[in-house]
């Protein structure tokens, strides 16, 4: 329809011009002029419909890709996120996928239109004037050749540009996350030079890409213009010699540029799509990567409706947790090496060791959020990784609070939130300085770091009581607390263990280590049984 409106416009426009030159009256010109206007309106309407359809298609595709990428991240868990920085994933799912508008919304529709429109226009030219049609067929391949040569250079440059943008984003996020530490040591000003240097590199490469895009556009326009000029000269000579009618020659001359226009537009839109293609490739690699891990959960949250099933309790004398030759790797490095041990309910176990010895990795393996070798037993029963989170309660290093009323935040994941149980969990976690009427913003906005950490502990406590989990995992639960509050938390952990639960605490703090029944030093127990290491 769109191509037909173009051909009709060229034909009726030529008839109107010829009629006016030959001295036709307004009555005689009325019909060709009205048909020319109608064809022009039809062309505008069909173009608008094509653009709207392309925009809608791009939005749907981006939405589907984002959903599949988030599902892949959810399935990959911490192991997948460990292979890529949070900043890079954020940039990929945000600006990266938004750049697909150029590819899906403009380049692909233009490519399809070219595949349909160009043969139709060339066919009409062959029927109208065989010489012109053959000339167009011979000159058309020049534009695709230029497109391929320029496109290869543009694609490589855009790929480097996308990689540099990822580095810039990751570096900036790392600086923001470590800003407090940098300020303590007076090194914050040095990072300004680093950010300025990377930003300048990004600016220079952006200008190079733009320069190449402008030059390539000029080359395509030049090739098309020379081709049209060749046809125009041929028609002019034949008009002088009387070999072609004036009306037909004018129609052909108006229609010829339409044969080259779709190909020129494909070349122009390819440059706009190059950055989106680079991002799309990373998204597809992320989606297609093998993910056999269970979904990671927010701190202290419930995994889903099926996780509310009653737990299968082991015999009374069975250990709450047993590890058999558990090995955890981060890439090619072994961080937990053939660890074995068993711990009974009613025990507070402190997991210690220097940074990098695998403390958090061990907790992730127990939770089923990290790939590992060996067996993990709960209540004397070997439990698959995908099923462990429903039988455990935990709080990670970062609170990861959600928005909402305080008691609802504590009861995250509960199908039937219990306000009184939430209040009791908050009292247990020493959250005395946050009113129950508090409404948290996004990511827990509205409370301090120490308060957020204690709210996360309350959330883990709530889940432990509501789901009656016998194992509670806590990763650095007092890192943001003062000594007095930390002492209260140590007492609270003892109360939790006295309820018949195994409380596992990853910590560097002496207060929690001294309050534990058992201390597991991962640096000292590498490759050996860990049962019975007493504080």
| Distance separating alpha carbons of residues 45 and 28, to the nearest angstrom | 27
Which of 232, 255, 288 is where one domain is finished? Answer: 288
Instruction: Give me the mean pLDDT over the 250-274 stretch.
Output: 76
Among 254-258, 272-276, 357-361, 502-506, the range of highest mean pLDDT: 502-506
Residues 119 and 94 in one domain: yes
Instruction: Give me the mean pLDDT over the 66-90 stretch.
Output: 63
Residues 388 and 509 in one domain: yes
Write down the pTM of the prediction: 0.52
Lowest mean pLDDT among 172-176, 237-241, 394-398, 439-443: 172-176
The enclosing H or E element of 34 equals helix 26-81
pLDDT band at 169 (very low <50, low <70, confident <90, very high): low
Q: Is the pLDDT of residue 438 over 60?
A: yes
Among 195-199, 202-206, 380-384, 446-450, the range of highest mean pLDDT: 380-384
Q: How many domains does the chain have?
A: 2
Residues 331 and 182 in one domain: no
What per-residue confidence (pLDDT) applies to 299? 38
Residues 250 and 358 in one domain: no
- Angstrom CA distances, 252 to 11, 38, 127, 128, 352, stand at 9, 20, 10, 7, 83
Residues 203 and 337 in one domain: no
108 vs 488 pLDDT, higher one = 488
Residue 82, class by beta-carbon neighbours within 10 Å (0-12 exposed, 13-18 middle, 19+ buried)? middle
What per-residue confidence (pLDDT) applies to 313? 42
Residues 335 and 408 in one domain: yes
Kindly state whether residue 408 falls inside one of the protein's structural domains: yes
DSSP state at residue 341? E
Kindly state whether residue 197 falls inside one of the protein's structural domains: yes
Kindly state whether residue 25 falls inside one of the protein's structural domains: no
pLDDT band at 188 (very low <50, low <70, confident <90, very high): low
Instruction: Give me the mean pLDDT over the 297-324 stretch.
Output: 52
Give the percent of the chain with pLDDT over 70: 76
Residues 266 and 347 in one domain: no
Of 476, 345, 344, 332, residue with least CA distance to 399 = 476
Residues 238 and 334 in one domain: no
Q: Is the pLDDT of residue 461 over 90?
A: yes
Give the percent of the chain with pLDDT over 90: 11
Residues 275 and 315 in one domain: no
Kindly state whether residue 530 falls inside one of the protein's structural domains: no
The enclosing H or E element of 131 equals helix 130-139
| Distance separating alpha carbons of residues 426 and 445, to the nearest angstrom | 18
Q: Is the pLDDT of residue 529 over 70?
A: no
Both tokens of residue 472? 């509670």
Instruction: Give me the mean pLDDT over the 355-366 stretch.
Output: 86
234 vs 194 pLDDT, higher one = 234
Residues 244 and 337 in one domain: no
Kindly state whether residue 97 falls inside one of the protein's structural domains: yes
Q: Is the pLDDT of residue 532 over 70?
A: no
The enclosing H or E element of 393 equals strand 392-395
Provide the H-helix boundaries in 242-304.
Answer: 246-288
Pairing of strands 502-506, 348-352: parallel
Kindly state whether residue 107 falls inside one of the protein's structural domains: yes
Kindly state whether residue 13 falls inside one of the protein's structural domains: no
What per-residue confidence (pLDDT) applies to 298? 39
Instruction: Give me the mean pLDDT over the 303-311 stretch.
Output: 36
User: Quick count: other Cβ atoms within 10 Å of Cβ 245?
Assistant: 13
Q: Is the pLDDT of residue 503 over 90?
A: yes
Which of 236, 262, 288 is where one domain is finished? Answer: 288
The enclosing H or E element of 302 equals none
Which of 240, 257, 288 is where one domain is finished? Answer: 288
Q: Is the pLDDT of residue 473 over 90?
A: yes
For 128, phi then psi, to 5°, come to: -75, -45
Residues 389 and 501 in one domain: yes
Kindly state whether residue 78 falls inside one of the protein's structural domains: yes
Residues 140 and 219 in one domain: yes
What per-residue confidence (pLDDT) applies to 76? 58
What per-residue confidence (pLDDT) applies to 47? 85
198-206 long-range contacts, CB within 8 A, separation 24+: 198/164, 198/167, 198/168, 198/171, 199/168, 201/164, 202/161, 202/164, 202/165, 202/168, 205/157, 205/160, 205/161, 205/164, 206/161
Which of helix, strand or coil describes residue 412? coil
First to last CA, the chain: 82
Q: What mean pLDDT is reported for the chain?
A: 78
Read off the CATH number of the domain in which 140 is found. Answer: 1.20.1560.10
189 vs 261 pLDDT, higher one = 261
Residues spanned by the domain of 327 = 305-521
What per-residue confidence (pLDDT) applies to 161? 64
Read off the CATH number of the domain in which 350 is found. Answer: 3.40.50.300
- Residues 355-364: b if buried by 16+ CB within 10 A, e if exposed: eebbbbbbbb
Q: Is residue 399 within 8 Å of residue 448, measured between CB atoms?
A: no
């Amino acid at each position: 329809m769109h191509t037909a409106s173009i051909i009709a416009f060229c034909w009726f426009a030529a008839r109107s011009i010829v009629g006016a030159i030959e001295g036709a009256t307004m009555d005689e010109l009325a019909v060709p002029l009205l048909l020319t206007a109608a064809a022009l309106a039809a062309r505008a309407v069909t173009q608008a419909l094509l653009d709207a359809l392309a925009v809608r298609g791009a939005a749907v595709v981006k939405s589907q890709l984002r959903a599949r990428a988030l599902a892949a991240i959810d399935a990959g868990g911490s192991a997948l996120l460990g292979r890529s920085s949070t900043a890079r994933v954020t940039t990929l799912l945000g600006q990266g996928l938004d750049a697909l508008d150029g590819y899906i919304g403009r380049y692909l529709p233009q490519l399809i239109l070219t595949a349909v429109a160009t043969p139709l226009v060339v066919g009409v030219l062959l029927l109208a004037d065989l010489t012109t049609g053959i000339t167009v067929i011979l000159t058309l391949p020049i534009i695709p050749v230029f497109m391929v040569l320029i496109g290869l250079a543009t694609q490589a440059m855009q790929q480097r540009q996308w990689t540099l943008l990822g580095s810039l984003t990751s570096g900036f996020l790392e600086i923001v996350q470590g800003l407090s530490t940098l300020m303590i040591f007076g090194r914050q000003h040095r990072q300004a030079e680093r950010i300025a240097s990377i930003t300048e590199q990004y600016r220079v490469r952006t200008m190079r890409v733009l320069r190449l895009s402008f030059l390539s556009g000029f080359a395509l326009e030049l090739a098309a213009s020379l081709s049209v000029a060749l046809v125009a000269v041929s028609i002019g000579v034949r008009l002088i010699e009387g070999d072609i009618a004036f009306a037909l020659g004018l129609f052909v001359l108006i229609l010829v540029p339409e044969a080259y226009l779709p190909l020129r537009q494909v070349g122009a839109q390819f440059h706009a799509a190059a950055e989106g293609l680079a991002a799309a490739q990373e998204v597809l690699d992320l989606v297609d990567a093998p993910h056999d891990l269970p979904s990671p959960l927010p701190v202290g949250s419930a995994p889903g409706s099926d996780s509310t099933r009653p737990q299968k309790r082991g015999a009374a004398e069975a250990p709450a947790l047993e590890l058999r030759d558990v090995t955890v790797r981060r890439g090619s490095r072994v961080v937990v090496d053939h660890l074995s041990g068993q711990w009974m309910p009613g025990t507070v176990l402190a997991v210690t060791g220097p940074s990098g010895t695998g403390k958090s990795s061990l907790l992730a393996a127990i939770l089923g959020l990290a790939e590992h070798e060996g067996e993990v037993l709960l209540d004397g029963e070997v439990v698959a990784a995908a099923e462990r989170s429903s039988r455990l309660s935990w709080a990670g290093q970062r609170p990861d609070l959600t928005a909402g009323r305080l008691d609802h935040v504590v009861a995250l994941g509960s199908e039937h939130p219990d306000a009184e149980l939430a209040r009791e969990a908050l009292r247990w976690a020493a959250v005395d300085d946050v009113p129950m009427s508090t409404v948290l913003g996004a990511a827990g906005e509205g409370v301090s770091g120490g308060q957020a950490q204690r709210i996360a502990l309350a959330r883990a406590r709530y889940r432990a009581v509501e789901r009656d989990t016998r194992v509670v995992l806590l990763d650095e639960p007092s890192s943001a607390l003062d000594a007095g509050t930390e002492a209260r938390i140590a007492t609270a952990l003892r109360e939790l263990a006295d309820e018949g639960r195994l409380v596992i605490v990853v910590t560097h703090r002496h207060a929690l280590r001294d309050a534990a029944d058992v201390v597991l030093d991962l640096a000292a127990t590498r490759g050996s049984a860990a049962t019975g290491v007493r504080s």
